[in-house]
Structure 1
Amino acid sequence: MGNSSFWDDLNSSCSNAGNSCYLENSMRFNFTLQEQAADFYIVLPVIYSVICAVGLTGNTAVIYVVLKAPKMKTVTNMFILNLAIADDLFTLVLPMNIAEHLLRYWPFGEILCKVILSIDHYNIFSSIYFLTVMSIDRYLVVLATVRSKRMPHRTYRAARIVSLCIWMLVTIIVLPFIIFANVYTDDLEIKSCGLNFPKPERFWFKASRIYTLILGFAIPVSTICILYTMMLYKLRNMHLNSNARALDKAKKKVTIMVFIVLAVFLFCWTPFHLATIVALTTDLPQTSMVIGISYFITSLSYANSCLNPFLYAFLDDSFRKSFRKLLECRTS
């Protein structure tokens, strides 16, 4: 696992796989190519700082409200809580990514390198898996409503157990990235934090991208699409059946909120995964436009971590009321 040979081979991969060097993980970029895009180099820390400040404030507020407000302890809010925790962890370590961009080397050592890369990948996988669980929950709620049945096992405690299982599953999925995360020194003696694969490095690099694409996007998104297709079918039949009971207002609002949160997630992350496919299957020239697009795609995926709190505040009346009530209690 020589560092120089790894980067020699990775740079060769970048010439053959286009902007894959920017998507090697969702935080690391090739510094040689950064020199070709000085404007992006200056703008990126500003963008990341805004995402960090807004995301950290918003997600911390979500965590505080869900944990403190008694009326917020619902099954859906348990999954929202875990989404906010994943986003909060990511935005919490984003300043180190900003520092790496500004300093143009990794100054924090190997342990923090593993921590940062693991949190980065936790964010990729945990968000989509919790959204998948939320979609499954919405489907079961709709199904139970159509059949006019109760759901005695759908409890806050059960949601906590499911959430714990999701974190354990994501830990297993992320484990290979934690193992390969390492601080390496390139030919210019510049320290960087990234995935240091064994030989043949190019094969492992592509395998890691396919692994992320399948487990972090293709399987969960396909599952979600199937669930929502079935859900819409059930709702359509329920509308046509005069004996069926319509979803009550509260359940419909929650279903719409989950759908919008999912749609925003796909809007932010689909370009990232599509770019991975393009990078691994085509030979893109390393032009300023390609570099700029890859930076924009990565920034868009980061931005998802600060958007969800605004969606909850805009779509969920109980969240707004609980937040205002807690603020009044704190100031009184």
Structure 2
Amino acid sequence: MELDTVFTMLLLSAVFSSSVPRQFEFVQMSMNCTDAQKYCRKNYSDLASIENSADVTKLLKSVNESSDVFRVWIGLMNTFRSEWKWSLGDPVFYTAQDSVFRNWASNQPNNSQHYCAYMSQDGLWCDDNCNSQRFFICYNDSSKGFTLVQQSMSWRSAQSYCRGNHTDLSSVRNQSENQQIQQLMNTGGVTAIWIGLFRDSWEWSDKSTSSFRNWASTEPNDNLGNEDATVLVISGERRGQWADWPCNTLFPFVCQEDQFILIKQNLSWSEAMTYCRQNHVDLVSVPSPQIEQRVMSAARRASTTAVWMGLHHYCSMNMWLWLRGEVVCYQNWAVGNGTGPHNCHERRV
């Protein structure tokens, strides 16, 4: 299959990094959440997704505080499909399988009304009412370590404590970390602790895998019976926190613009590479599922079914490489693709 004859558009990036920054753009027009989503997808990438506390701070700065804006739409929507997720929701914290490690006890989870998880002294996990009072484990990213906090709190209060004093309630990414936390419990004589696992049905508009949530106290509460979208509070005691809200309400909103540029020209792969290097940096690399989601979001505005990226077969080494020389660790080939040499005479770096 000749790569240069397959695709008709190209995608490039101004930054080569696994943590390509996104820009937040405040739109002061008031719309319902559906129209806000359409506007962002047409003019930017999508409604804003938030991966960590730094994103919250960055988003707040994008909003003109001198205007009479109290709430803005962000891209979190209720899907009504409840799934277990980690409080430390930044996707870069996890490898492909780390975020799905589970160590449930037999017959757990077993209660559809229990939305938070704790670890017992045998290292097994159980679900529980989030308002139950328990000790808990925090994770600190700077020390790469766990801290046992022997104060009884609800899951939400424990989350706030960990975010204020460390990084977040602890994730448990593998059996080794599970054993580390179990050892801390045994040393401290603690029989059960909250971990950062919770269950919700909310999903980002751009399909980001971030499970970061920053709900205000008592939120989400579906107070009006149809609160299926999310606003970020701009002022007052709840500044920076989130609340669920009916989608038909009119609010300003925040879009995100990923730092990928879609070039709407019909070019061969080699021509696309030359164009990108002359006018920007290079054709885009896609080193992870997280970056892939953001690239797909940017490519949604293409009028074709596919776009070029900077992956090529380096024939002298008989392997696929990104243009900047990165080895291909993450792969997402379509069936029947990605094997054997392809169009070697075009693969000059």
Please indicate the TM-score interval, normalised by the length of the shorter structure.
Answer: under 0.3
* TM-score for both structures, normalised by structure 1: 0.22
Instruction: Tell me which protein shows more helix as a share of its residues.
Output: 1
Instruction: Tell me which protein shows more strand as a share of its residues.
Output: 2
Bigger Cα Rg: 2
